[in-house]
Amino acid sequence: MSMNPTCPFPISDYPTVTLAHGGGGALMHQLIDRMFLTAFRNPLLDAGHDGAVFGMNGANVALTTDSYVVQPLFFPGGDIGTLAVNGTVNDLAMCGARPLYLTLGMILEEGLPMETLWRIVQSIREAADRAGVAIVTGDTKVVDRGKGDGIYINTAGVGALTQGRDINPGRIQSGDVILLSGDVGRHGIAIMAVREGLEFESAIESDCAPLAQPVLALSQAGVEVHSLRDLTRGGLASALVEHARTAGVTLRIEEKDVPVREDVQGACELLGLDPFYVANEGRFIAIIPERQGDAALEILRGFPVSEGAVRIGTVQERGRALVRLQSRINAPRIMDLLSGEQLPRIC
Amino acid sequence: MSMNPTCPFPISDYPTVTLAHGGGGALMHQLIDRMFLTAFRNPLLDAGHDGAVFGMNGANVALTTDSYVVQPLFFPGGDIGTLAVNGTVNDLAMCGARPLYLTLGMILEEGLPMETLWRIVQSIREAADRAGVAIVTGDTKVVDRGKGDGIYINTAGVGALTQGRDINPGRIQSGDVILLSGDVGRHGIAIMAVREGLEFESAIESDCAPLAQPVLALSQAGVEVHSLRDLTRGGLASALVEHARTAGVTLRIEEKDVPVREDVQGACELLGLDPFYVANEGRFIAIIPERQGDAALEILRGFPVSEGAVRIGTVQERGRALVRLQSRINAPRIMDLLSGEQLPRIC
């Protein structure tokens, strides 16, 4: 075979897989870029998107996948089933596609209570109904007791693009504005609160929700959407840094304009977390031409899931790939990917 | 929501998940039919196929998924990576589709040696090249040490149908012949031999291989393929029983016509296994009109992967869903799904 036997990933530096290799930060990106993308190189994979977009007999199709290993399985605002539907549906939406079909692969651990499985199956169905997708094929595996963690779920999603296939970080222009669909940090904090046994006056619920409706409404209204990204592992900050790098641009973000709920901010301080890096499951950024910014915000605010949409920054010069955060006290700070692991198994 | 809160699966009889619920036998079918298919009911899912087939903008698309949890990760003739490509590619082929794109979802266990991951990644690439598919999108998760078993892989596949979308068990006719693409039992025995430390004069290798070429050649030659199925978990016997049930027909199989290699037969006797129920990863049955049987065999025998193709039986009357095995000593026997678990984690 034509396989190069030397691995471009520095195996001697990282001889074993660590939790950080799945955390959405720098180590995960290194593993993906230098091992997976190098081995599987092809134009669709290289697009650096949340999913692949290709033509089939004249139809423009989006395809995406995610595995879900969240712990605990149930948390305020959702469970692993809700997540497995919305996470994948949202990746399709971020390609500008209308989500249509999901596959469902379940890896069950011997000893999982059937009642737990049934609760999760019901959540999957309810979330699929809400997102307007059908579960059309699936697979079930069982692993020995102690070789799993109750249940892991993989979903792959297929969506249809009606507006062409040109939503991707490569289209970002200097002068574009960056919109954020609502407050950040809730999903990660909802999970961490359960894990750490934190009590708040009222529970912080995950923001887990399907996002295709507001996204499709933008395109339908004629907004020239350059790029979209949902803010999952690694949070708002990582999504911005990935965008800056893929597009080769500087993004300027106003910290004061990024909404963080007071209870989420408090929990972050208690836990030593930066809310900009905390995972969300119902938030996205949209990068669009400045002239359409106000119209786009108005459209987004018409949907409950994005009623808190705001403008948080702008795309500045080409050529320097970085994210510049203008802080509340007006001190600039460069945002980067976290090198380690902030929140393991958040999705 | 319109969700029925009572589960049609008898939870009180099976309060927890057992290995047999993933084994390809009766318990797995009960779980799938009474919990998953009931909850997610839709026409595509109800077709009882290896994948879903649907139209998108005039294109006929096949979509399928499988998770892979095989132990050991490496075995004679392949590894979990080879399996993750060929298993999914073959499910597409069994829908009559040309496999095009794969997603790749990896769940890695903390502590997995990077060298192991790299070997598996290379296998995935080599298998994808051989099968003519591209890995176009993926996802990486890491779970804590002790919460996985090295690596679990999910692949979902997308394929294109050129010949319409009418290959499914519902098309089987009385009088059709049943063709088998080669000898059975090798994959399961290759795995079990490693697990049990069995030594043979020469290693029994898995038959793991991509099957789209011979299948597409049948359609291209004008063979009216009624139904196809690859013989994975549950082996030949389970595939036949599933077909008989979905189509509501009696299948008659001549035991003497089903090829089983001598070393595989010997290993099966040693291990107390029935080779008809042992998993394969490069074998399939094709059910076609009797008049085209000889021509189809000639086509199949032109490909290395199906050079041992034979005719093993016929479709008899409608209305009685069963598989009648005519044994070597001419005694008839009814084949059914195994109720328990024969070979856990074989794929």
pLDDT digits 0-9 by tens, A55-103: 987 889 999 999 999 999 999 999 999 999 999 999 999 999 999 999 9
Give the number of C-alpha atoms closer than 13 A to the C-alpha of residue B24, restricted to the C-beta side.
Answer: 26
Mutate to test the interface with B, among A154, A155, A165 (most CBs of B within 10 A): A154
**Rg value, chain B, Cα:** 20
Q: How many CB pairs under 8 A join A and B?
A: 309
Q: Give me the residue from B16, B65, B141 closest to A138, CB to CB.
A: B65
Q: Give me the residue from B39, B51, B106 closest to A122, CB to CB.
A: B39
Arithmetic mean of pLDDT, B106-135: 98
Name the token pair of A198: 């934190």
Whether residue B341 is predicted with pLDDT greater than 70 in this model: the reply is no
Interchain CB distance below 8 Å, B109 and A17 = yes
State the amino acid at position A38 in one-letter form.
Answer: T
Q: Which of chain B's residues have a Cβ under 8 Å away from the Cβ of A112?
A: 16-17
Largest CA distance in chain B: 61
pLDDT of residue A3: 47
Interchain CB distance below 8 Å, B140 and A18 = no
Tens of pLDDT along B166-176?
A: 888 889 999 99
CA distance B32 to chain A (A): 8
Arithmetic mean of pLDDT, A125-133: 98
Domain with CATH 3.30.1330.10 in chain A: 52-161
Homologous superfamily (CATH) for A169-335 = PurM-like C-terminal domain (3.90.650.10)
The distance from CA B336 to its chain's CA centroid, rounded to whole angstroms, is: 17
Residue A101 near residue A134, CB atoms below 8 Å: yes
> Long-range contacts made by residues B327-334, C-beta under 8 angstroms, separation at least 24?
B327/B255, B328/B255, B328/B256
Coil/strand/helix, residue A328: coil
The whole-angstrom separation of Cα A111 and Cα B138 is 29
Q: Which of chain A's residues have a Cβ under 8 Å away from the Cβ of B24?
A: none
Q: Which of chain B's residues have a Cβ under 8 Å away from the Cβ of A7?
A: 114, 118
Of residues A162 and B277, more confidently modeled: B277
b/e B138-148 (16+ beta carbons within 10 angstroms → b): bbbbbbeeebb
Whether residue B130 is predicted with pLDDT greater than 60 in this model: the reply is yes
Coil/strand/helix, residue A301: helix
Arithmetic mean of pLDDT, B57-61: 85
Q: Left (φ > 0), alpha (ψ -120 to 50) or beta: where does A87 sit? A: alpha
Whether residue A5 is predicted with pLDDT greater than 70 in this model: the reply is no
Count, residues in chain A: 347
Answer yes or no: pTM beyond 0.80. Answer: yes
The whole-angstrom separation of Cα A10 and Cα B208 is 31
b/e B244-274 (16+ beta carbons within 10 angstroms → b): bbbbebbbbbbbeebbbbebbeebbeebebe
CA distance A257 to chain B (A): 31
Mutate to test the interface with B, among A38, A108, A136 (most CBs of B within 10 A): A136
Domain with CATH 3.90.650.10 in chain B: 169-335
Whether residue B2 is predicted with pLDDT greater than 70 in this model: the reply is no
Whether residue B210 is predicted with pLDDT greater than 90 in this model: the reply is yes
For chain B, the average pLDDT equals: 93
Whether residue B4 is predicted with pLDDT greater than 70 in this model: the reply is no
pLDDT of residue B164: 63
Q: Which of chain B's residues have a Cβ under 8 Å away from the Cβ of A122?
A: 3, 5, 39
Name the token pair of A11: 């195996």
pLDDT of residue A1: 43
pLDDT of residue A341: 67
Interchain CB distance below 8 Å, B134 and A28 = no
Mutate to test the interface with A, among B115, B154, B158 (most CBs of A within 10 A): B154
Q: What is the CATH number assigned to the segment(s) A52-161?
A: 3.30.1330.10
**Rg value, chain A, Cα:** 20
* H helix runs in chain B, sequence order: 26-31, 38-40, 43-46, 80-94, 114-131, 186-196, 212-220, 235-247, 262-271, 293-301
